[in-house]
Amino acid sequence: MADPSSKLPTWVDVGLLPLINVALAFVVSGLLIAALGQDPFEATWIMLRGAFGYEESLGYTFYYTTNFIFTGLAVAVAFHAGLFNIGGEGQAYIGGLGVAIACLALDQYLPFGLLLPICILAAALFGAGWAFIPAYLLAKRGSHVVITTIMFNFIAASLMVYLLVNVMIKPGQMSPESREFTSNAWLPYMHEVLGWFGWEVAQSPLNLSLLWALVCCVLVWGLIWHTRWGYEIRAVGANADAAVYAGISPSKIIILAMCLSGALSGFVGINEIMGVQHRLLLDFAAGYGFTGIAVSLMGRNHPVGIILAALLFGALYQGGAELAFENSAFSPDLIVVIQGLVVLFSGALSYMLRGPMERLYLRLSPGRLVEG
């Protein structure tokens, strides 16, 4: 969401201001930790060590990062079309359902090599399908996409409970979970893969999904900035009237962007269901969709920024868990608070410092104002 009226040079607008906003979020978090009677610097140190300090923690950090890249990209793609897809949560959930259905149906028959592309496709199709309905309703009937995607998050939650309790539950079992897939439907863990190359690392849930997430970053980057479809998506997002003038159909673009966004969210299912859980269960997508909003805002809707922001949140998740483990005064909820503050400062209050920055910049370098 670049602001064309900005008088600041790009490096301040895209680099410095977002950094200051994130820093503000962390300063406030630090003050909060201090207010709770803890030492914020010590907490930071524990979190950093917990996130990056040893192989296993790194694995966990990257595993969380993988999910955030998917949901962050999902929010970003919709943003470029001027849409706020707040339904990443539900789309990720349903994406996982797609993966599970594919695995449960085919794991007896197909080898991993065939199963993987089918599962990726299933995740994309199911995620996209869940985003398609709100998108269609917006494109054809003008329904507010924020509200419909929120509603679809709740509908997805109810649907999954129903399916798991009544349909997909493993017979003779109490907890609402499907049967475990056979191991040919398991995405290899990173420690296994690295082991094949003779590099022994500690076990962690990190799996090959991370590579797919990075591939998706490249694909999204290419799509948005280097294809005509990306051009059309950005045109609709920046100026729908001009897009219509250019012969671009906003309805089609809305549906395209939302479906892409839903598909990207759906890939959370690859990481979680195929990569880690190896069965379908409840609430595996909890929080990832919403964190995607923070990731995308912080990353300025650009894949590079999203990777960095996803890494930050991955580290926060893992470091926060470590912190809660070491110091019972904290719970993993600290991370949720920091996340909220990041969304607040990087998103809602992102214009707050622009005015003061513009004045400061003008005073420091008179005459260098970009002509408006």
Partner 1 sequence: MTVAGGATSSGTGHPAPAIQLRGINKRFSPVHANRDVNLVVPAGTIHGIVGENGAGKSTLMSILYGFYQADSGVIEVGGQVCPINSPEDALAAGIGMVHQHFMLVDVFSVLENILLGAEGGPLLAPGMAAARKEIARLEADYGLEVDPDALVGDLAVGLRQRVELLKALYRGANILILDEPTGVLTPQEADRLFEILRAMRDRGVTVILITHKLQEIMAITDNVSVMRAGQMVAHRETAQTTREELAELMVGRKVLLRVEKSVAAPGDALLRADGLSLIDAAKVTRLDGVSLDLRAGEIVGIAGVTGNGQSELLEVLSGILPPSRGRFTVHDRAIDQDHPCTPEEMRDLNLAHVPEDRQRMGMISAFAAWETAILGYHCDPAYTGPILLKTNAIIDDTDGKMARFDVRPADPQLTSDSFSGGNQQKLVLAREIERQPDILLVGQPTRGVDIGAIEFIHQQLIDMRDAGCAVLLVSVELEEILSLSDRILVMFEGRIVGEVAAADADARIIGLMMANAHEKAETEGAAAHG
Partner 2 sequence: MGEDFLLIILTFDATIRVSVPLILAALAGLIVERSGVIDIGLEGKMLAAAFAAAAAAYATNSAWLGLGAGIVASVLLALLHGFACITHRGNQIVSGVAINILVSGLTVLLGISWFSLGGQTPPLTGDARFKSLTFPGAEAVRDIPVLGPIYSELLSGHNILVYLAFLTVPMVWWLVYRTRFGLRLRATGENPAAVDTAGISVIRMRYLALILCGILCGIAGSYFSTGHGAGFLREMTAGKGFIALAAMIFGKWRPVPVLFACLLFGFLDAIAIRLQGVELPLIGEMPVQFIQALPYILTVVLLAGFIGRAIAPKASGVPYVKEH
Residues that bind partner 2 (CB under 8 A): 1, 32, 36-37, 84, 86, 133-134, 137, 141-144, 146-148, 150-152, 154-155, 158-159, 161-162, 165-166, 290, 293-294, 297, 328-331, 333-341, 343-344, 347-352
The window from 82-90, 99-107, 204-212, 220-228 that contacts partner 1 (CB under 8 A) reads 220-228
Nearest CA to 323 out of 308, 314, 333 is that of 333
For residues 111 and 222, which CB has a smaller minimum distance to partner 1 in the complex? 222
Angle at 130 between CA 118 and CA 144, to 5 degrees: 155
Pick one of partner 1, partner 2, none as the site partner of residue 147 (Cβ within 5 to 8 A by kind).
Answer: partner 2
Long-range contacts of 226-232 (CB under 8 A, 24+ apart): 229/256, 230/80
Query: What CA–CA distance (Å, rounded) separates 301 from 304?
Result: 9
For residues 143 and 239, which CB has a smaller minimum distance to partner 1 in the complex? 239
Pick one of partner 2, partner 1, none as the site partner of residue 166 (Cβ within 5 to 8 A by kind).
Answer: partner 2
Q: Is 372 in the site for partner 1 (CB under 8 A)?
A: yes
CB of 248 to partner 1, least distance (A): 8
CB of 41 to partner 2, least distance (A): 18
Pick one of partner 1, partner 2, none as the site partner of residue 39 (Cβ within 5 to 8 A by kind).
Answer: none
CB of 85 to partner 2, least distance (A): 11
Q: Is 245 in the site for partner 1 (CB under 8 A)?
A: yes
Query: What CA–CA distance (Å, rounded) separates 354 from 226?
Result: 30
Residues 31-60 that bind partner 1 (CB under 8 A): none
Pick one of partner 2, partner 1, none as the site partner of residue 293 (Cβ within 5 to 8 A by kind).
Answer: partner 2
Query: What CA–CA distance (Å, rounded) separates 102 from 125?
Result: 11
Q: Partners of 189 in the beta sheet?
A: 207
Phi and psi at residue 4, to the nearest 5°: -65, -20
Phi and psi at residue 351, to the nearest 5°: -90, -10
Query: What CA–CA distance (Å, rounded) separates 167 from 182?
Result: 19
The pair of structure tokens assigned to 274 is: 């195929």
The pair of structure tokens assigned to 196 is: 């094949």
Among 44, 184, 239, 251, binds partner 1 (CB under 8 A): 239
For residues 133 and 362, which CB has a smaller minimum distance to partner 2 in the complex? 133
Q: Is 2 in the site for partner 1 (CB under 8 A)?
A: yes
Four-CA torsion 196, 200, 202, 206, nearest 10 degrees: -30
